[in-house]
Amino acid sequence: MADTRGYIVPVGGAEEKLGDVAILRRFATLCGGAMGRIAIIPTASELAETGGRYEELFHSLGIKVARSLPIASRADCERREWLDVLDEVEGVFLTGGNQLRLSTMIGGTEVAKALRRRNREGLHVAGTSAGAAFLCEHMIAFGREGASPRARIVTLAAGLGLTNRVILDQHFRQRDRLGRLLTALAYNPFAIGIGLDENTAGFIAPDETLEVVGSGALTIVDPSGLEFSSMAKVRKNDPVCLIGLRLHILNDGSKFNLHTRVATAPPGIAQRV
């Protein structure tokens, strides 16, 4: 058994699958490269070919074993042979689609318990798009787009629960989702908000340091200094007043410590400033 938990890797969706596949290559290397074994859970997708496509992608990156577990019902989550696979692999990759398919089919099952246990033991778990949203304890199930926080425009549901430190949102800049992330944080400003652009990932290490990988940006909203929120006083769809938030925009190579809440620029950029 490992002494530390594995990486948690949310990806903003639409990660490069041809050419410069930096995110998938980094995850494959993390999982052992040529000796690595990765299980793919395509449950969020309704496309039959999704699991097989990621098998091919990880094989092309040199992964020894890449196996899709096409969970399509809660009963599938009790299959002993698939639970045995989760006990043997170094990494698990959750594909995109609809995060409610993940929470309703996997939540509370033996697969969910196995993923949490194995992550504590050192298993690396990544998810893209809907798969990313599902990784944390408080999952954005759905919500309206727009730049401003508004009362009750977002619905939260229980996620996989690998971490309770963050709330994640994906396709962030592309789908104008700052308002719904701010609204989710305003419900209870305990967690840190992370908005992931497409083809951008946050590799969260066991020491709670997040490193950005990819071509887009990662938006961090830190509500720890929140001085005032009108969330409890406004009516549905009304704008919410939030005073005292901190916001960081991080690009490839930037880091953020989820414990100290300190952001750092990429080394090359920091040296030139």
> pTM score, two decimals?
0.97
Cα within 13 Å of Cα(192), Cβ side:
22
Report, as residue numbers or ranges, the catalytic residues: 129, 171, 198
Strands 91-94 and 200-204: unpaired
- Using CA atoms, how far residue 214 sits from 87, 136, 140, 174, in Å, is 29, 21, 23, 15
89 close to 121: Cβ distance less than 8 angstroms: no
Whole-number pLDDT of residue 270: 58
174-229 residue pLDDT tens:
999 999 999 999 999 999 999 999 999 999 999 999 999 999 999 999 999 999 99
Q: Virtual CA dihedral for 57, 133, 96, 47, nearest 10 degrees?
A: 140
The confidence score (pLDDT) of residue 272 equals: 55
Q: What pLDDT shows up at residue 269?
A: 75
Q: Which residues of the chain have pLDDT under 70?
A: 1-3, 270-273
Tens digits of residue pLDDT in 64-79: 999 999 999 999 999 9
Is residue 43 within 8 Å of residue 71, measured between CB atoms? yes
Neighbours of 194 (CB within 10 A): 27
Domains and CATH numbers, the chain: 8-272 (3.40.50.880)
Report the 10 Å Cβ neighbour count for 22. Answer: 17
pLDDT at 268: 78
H or E element: which one contains 220?
strand 218-222
